[in-house]
Structure 1
């Protein structure tokens, strides 16, 4: 699996993977277009397998001494392979190179695998945003946990 900077030609694949990974409230292709247009403050990376298939992506907002993870997604068929950790570690590297001393993110309170990934990488819960995410079945919205990690 190879990590590289995301480019304009990746947008269709990113949008398709986004819809599979986040069917309740996916980002639109226009949102990803705006994210890539926000470079150099925005930094996006894609994971591509040996045959050129998009396996995941991740994005970061570099805003001085604090960076924000905008998104991380791994193809559902490839979850559990360590790819999410590789993408997250790449974002940490980019954040540090951009001068950040810490990284923050938001995660759905009901996303156990993502919460485990972030905890394993040193993230701590700062606060909860009640009802931040839409639910899939019309039940009450899901809380967001705001997490922070200090970079070495």
Structure 2
């Protein structure tokens, strides 16, 4: 079953589960997480637990500690799946966890096969735009007040499951 598997050396992604709320509610108190993701509260958590049009992935390091959270919305046509949210452990920002989290999330084998990935970035969020550009994503124009960035896939996913 996708999202199940043995722990491997390095980072892995898995579906969010109910017991993740114990650490996630601490992350949600961080002002940057609150500003960039909006209210990460019990209502949001219940919504992502029941999501069937995508997945909220917890990215763990090789020791099983959460390092990131990445939301993915699946395009039923398979054209372009969306990264809907991305955050890292607020206590360990600027340590490369965003790169590691995004890589593990995109490589998670439980996604339906897309042709590309997209994300929408607030035009005032220059660090996010720089982050995606550094990961090979390209600007695709504006959508309302959001910058659309895209990453075409060159190969299928690896299996970065926990």
Measured against the shorter chain, the TM-score band is 0.7 to 0.9
Unaligned residue ranges in structure 2 (runs of 5+)? 1-9, 155-162
Give the paired residue count: 139
Determine the structure 1 residue equivalent to 2:34: 23
Q: Distance in 2 between matches of 1:95 and 1:145?
A: 27
Determine the structure 2 residue equivalent to 1:81: 95
**3-state SS, counterpart of residue 100 of structure 2:** helix
Alpha-carbon displacement from aligned partner over 1:3-27 (angstroms, at most 9, x marks no partner): 3412111134324313413333323
Query: 1:107, 1:144 within 8 Å by CA — same for their partners in 2?
Result: yes
Alpha-carbon displacement from aligned partner over 1:30-55 (angstroms, at most 9, x marks no partner): 1222122114x322222346776543
Question: Which structure 2 residues correspond to residues 1-150 of structure 1 after superposition, within 5 A?
Answer: 2-5=11-14, 6-20=16-30, 21-24=32-35, 25-39=38-52, 41-48=53-60, 54-64=66-76, 65=78, 66-94=80-108, 97-130=111-144, 143-150=145-152
Question: TM-score normalised to the size of structure 2?
Answer: 0.70
User: Which structure carries more relative contact order (alpha carbon 8 Å, separation 6+)?
Assistant: 2
**3-state SS, counterpart of residue 85 of structure 1:** helix
Task: Please state which structure has a larger fraction of its residues in strand.
Answer: 1
User: How far does residue 2 in structure 1 lie from its aligned partner after superposition?
Assistant: 4.3
Query: 1:36, 1:42 within 8 Å by CA — same for their partners in 2?
Result: no
**3-state SS, counterpart of residue 86 of structure 2:** strand
Alpha-carbon displacement from aligned partner over 1:74-126 (angstroms, at most 9, x marks no partner): 12331222211111112222379521011111112232322122112221222
Q: What RMSD in Å do the two structures reach over aligned CA positions?
A: 2.6
Unaligned residue ranges in structure 1 (runs of 5+)? 131-142
Q: Distance in 2 between matches of 1:95 and 1:48?
A: 15
